[in-house]
Copies of this chain bind each other. A is one copy, B any other.
Amino acid sequence: MGNFKGHALPGSFFLLFGLWWSVKYPLKYVCRKNKSACYLGSRAGFQRLEFVEGIIKAVFALIGMVAEQFVPDGPHLKLYNYEEKHWDHLMNWQHATMYLFYGISGLVDIVAHGTNALPVAMDRMMLSLAVFIEGFLFCYHLHGRAMLDIHVHQLLLYAIFGGAICIFLEVFFRGSIVLEMLRTSLCILQGSWFWQIGFVLYPPNGSPEWNQMDHTNMMFLTMCYCWHYAFAFLILAVNYTIVSCSVKD
């Protein structure tokens, strides 16, 4: 992951999910409010959507895990290098572990919404745990890096843990549009910030490096983070408007 693509890829996934949620939840809310006008979706339809979402999540997680293991400079399922007596490609293993929990979350989605064996609230709890584990592994990921590098990842952690707490609250306040919008905004923020980290730490097409020890860079990035968040709300607002207008007509 220590390159531009390694940050753009997960960023794109989070952006994709965030954008999708920014359409789905307003749609769900509008449909619940005026049932007659809404021929698009029913309660069963949304359940099926969650089911499909679970499959996509599980497939993405599986692809991620396999990719982390079998890229040319990956561990190929080898955990310990017995000849040189050190752990092998720990970074890749950590990323695979992150994907593993998203995979479990996907599986729980599938079972909870495909059958009626599992209580539905389990999907939120597993997603919350998956996001939490992602943040947890990130926390122990940053040892011995430069100041700016640590700072941009710390900012990412706010979005991650904020998201985890928000999803955990959804276990108790299920279907609260406010929490769903908050989660969506944090997911878009996480996605776009992954891209920003890529641009800052591994500037593509020959831009000059950022000065890692300059305090004003840190201050700018903190502010930039807020702009990303404002931008996430702009997207939410636009999608919300489009959805509510198109349903009413």
Interface residues, chain A, with chain B CB atoms under 8 Å away: 29, 86-87, 90, 93-94, 97, 100-101, 104, 117-119, 121-122, 124-125, 133, 136-137, 140-141, 143-144, 158, 171-173, 176-178, 181-182, 215-220, 222-223, 226-227, 229-230, 233, 240, 244
Q: What residues on B are CB-neighbors of A216 within 8 Å?
A: 86-87, 90
| Contact between B172 and A104, CB atoms less than 8 A apart | no
A243 to B14, CA, bound (A): 36
Q: How far is the CB of A83 from chain B (nearest CB, A)?
A: 16
Whether B137 pairs with A222 at a CB distance below 8 angstroms is yes
Which residue of chain B has its CB nearest to the CB of A214? B86
Q: A244 contacts B117, CB within 8 Å? A: yes
A181 to chain B, nearest CB (A): 7
B140–A90 CB distance below 8 A: no
A75 smallest CB distance to B (angstroms): 12
With contact pairs A104-B230, A136-B226 given, residues A181 and B122 touching in the complex (Cβ less than 8 Å) = yes
- Minimum Cβ distance to chain B for residue A54 (Å): 15
Complex CA–CA separation, A144 to B214 (angstroms): 13
Asked if residues B173 and A172 are in contact (CB atoms below 8 Å), the reply is yes
Given A172-B173, A178-B119, A230-B100, A94:B143 Cβ within 8 A: no
A38 to chain B, nearest CB (A): 15
